[in-house]
Each structure stands twice: as structure tokens, then as C-alpha cells.
Amino acid sequence: MRDKIIFGAGIFAALYFIRNLYVILLQLPDEAMQGAVYRIFFFHLPPYFAAVFCFLGAAIASGMYLKTKRWHYDVFAVSATEVGLALAAINLVTGMIWGRQQWGIWWTWDARLTSALITWLIYLGYLMLREGIKDPSERAKNSAVLSIFAFFAVYFTYKANEWYRTQHPGPVLTIRTGKNTIDPAMQAMLFHNLFAFLLLTVVLVAVRMRLEDSQRAVESLRRRAHAVA
Amino acid sequence: MDQRNFEYMFYGLAAAWTILCLYSLLLTSRGRKIQAEIEHLKRMLEASPKK
């Protein structure tokens, strides 16, 4: 039953992405200054927000693990973090491509870009930390603490372009600016693609959680095999 | 659609889908490896004499 739900959600996400691509490429109004390249935005901001949800979920699950010591929370935390890392990579790479065209440079060390990169590296460190600790309960405990503290970097990145003057464009969504700074059709499309990315995120996290469960089954079988040998 | 800077839009969209596809393939490959190891360990445990 669970497999069917994951499969169904995956198919729905794929169809939703096809619908969104059709609207993005063929129906949305053009941006006066940037030409076609502004359409990267629909694959830059939604993955970032989906990654933020992943990291927030991981931080909450990590706190719950420290409180209850239930493995399920640790499984969710590592799965959400890994998927969030892939989504944050999309955000960084699409941003660099847009920057190359608009600013003439691939990268600049301003507060927003630098904090986004550091956040990505911290979460990469989280996965490396887990690889380095063999004892499962020590691994879960240490990585849970790191996951909670790492979320401060996510919040800093979110606020960086308000707190500092950055080359990165400022907030554009009406919910943040309180003004009509973006065409309503473009803003609606951003939310549609965010929904598609969130759906995909749920599918990927569910698949990754299943892998983590299987990995724990392998570790248990290995221990039994050692005991028999 | 305005054709200016179409090339960079294509690179951006291609990069996003490439990362998603690579990560999905990575998950599939890890799943297969883990499944094969589970089968191998189960066979090993079944074949070993019980204490």
C-alpha cells in the first residue's frame, strides 16, 4: 500500500512538472530586461524553499530523537537532510548560471551566496559525520545536535539579503515585501512549482527513508552473521 | 517567448533536471546494492550451521 502511494505521488509530481514547464515556457509573460533567462527563477527559488522545509523537518525530527530516542526520527532526519542537500545544490547551480548571464560572473562572495554555500557545506558535513561514527546511537545523537545547530545557518541565509547589502536580488514575493513587486502570473507559477517540488520532496524522502531502514536491516544481519561465524 | 538569453535558460533548466535525475539514479543504485547485500547475508545465515 505504501509503495502504491509513493508511486502515485511520484507520477502526480511528474505530471505537475510537465504542466508547469508548459506554462513556464509557453504561456508566461516575458520579463522586460532579462529575456528568457528569468525563467531559471522557477527552478531556483522553489527548490530552495523545498530544501528549507527539509532542513526544518530534519531539525525538528532531530530534537524529537534527542527527546524520545526513537530511531524513526533519526531515519527521517538523515533522509530529509540528504534530499534537502540535493535541492539546495539545484538552487546554488541555477543561481550561478543566472548570475553568469546577468552579472557576468559565476560567483561573488556576498552575504547571501556565501551563507548559502556554507549552509550546504554544513549539511554535507552532517552526512560525512554520520559516515564517520560506527556506533548507531552515538551517530544519531551527534548528528541530531549538529542538525539542530545547522538550522541557524538556514535562517541566516534566509535573512542575509535583508540584513546586508548584497548583490543577490532582494525579496520579490508579495508575502515578504507587502507590495506588488512581481507579476501575479509569475508569482502564481512560483507557488505551482513549489508545490511540485514539495511533492517530489515527499516522494524522495519516503524512498530515502526506506533505504535507511534497509541499511539498518543489513547492519543487523551483519551482526548476526558475525555472531554465527 | 522572448528568445534573448535562451541559451542560459536552457543551461539552468538542464542543470536542475540533471541534478534531480542523478540523485534519483543514486537512490536506485544504492537500493539495489542494499537489496543484494540483504539477500547475500540471508543466504549466508541460512547456510551456516545453527548453534
DSSP single-letter state for residue A107: -
The interface predicted TM-score of the complex, written ipTM, equals 0.90
A73 lies in a domain?
Answer: yes
B27 and A215: CB-CB below 8 Å?
Answer: no
Q: In this structure, is residue A68 part of a structural domain?
A: yes
C-beta separation of A162 from A172 below 8 A: no
Considering only CA atoms, which of A140, A133, A217 is closest in space to residue B34? A217
Is A2 among the domain residues? no
Q: Would the CB atoms of A214 and B41 count as touching at under 8 Å?
A: no
Q: What band does B36 get if pLDDT is binned at 50, 70 and 90?
A: very high
Q: What is the mean pLDDT of residues A103-124?
A: 96
Torsion, CA A55, CA A61, CA A65, CA A70, rounded to 10: -130
Q: How many CB atoms lie within 10 A of CB A156?
A: 16
Residue-number span of the structural domain to which A46 is assigned: 40-167+197-216
Look at the block and give the residue holding cell 540523485: B23
Burial grade of A154 (CB within 10 A; 0-12, 13-18, 19 or more): buried
B/e letters for B19-40, b = 16+ CB within 10 Å, e = fewer, are: bbeebbeebeeebeebeebeee
Do you know the residue count of chain A? 229
Task: Tell whether A11 is covered by a domain.
Answer: no
pLDDT tens figures, A186-213:
999 999 999 999 999 999 999 999 999 9
pLDDT at A166: 83
Shortest alpha-carbon distance between residue A216 and chain B (Å)? 10
Answer yes or no: is A99 within a domain. yes
State the pTM of this model: 0.92
Half-sphere exposure (CA, 13 Å, Cβ side) for A129?
Answer: 19
Q: Does residue A9 form part of some domain?
A: no
pLDDT tens string A154-176: 999 999 988 988 888 887 888 78
Q: What is the mean pLDDT of residues B8-35?
A: 96
Q: Which residues contact residue A152 at a Cβ distance below 8 angstroms, ignoring those fewer than 6 apart?
A: none
Residue A20 C-alpha cell reads as: 508547469
pLDDT recorded at residue A30: 84
> From the CA of A65, how many Å to the nearest CA of chain B?
24
Residue B51, pLDDT score: 54
Give the number of other CB atoms < 10 A from CB of residue A117.
15
Q: Count interface pairs A-B at CB distance under 8 A.
A: 100
Looking at the domain assignment, is residue A105 inside a domain?
A: yes
Structural domain count, chain A: 1
* Phi, psi of A225, deg, nearest 5: -65, -40
- Inter-chain residue contact B41 with A221, CB threshold 8 Å: yes
For chain A, the average pLDDT equals 93
In a domain, A114, yes or no: yes
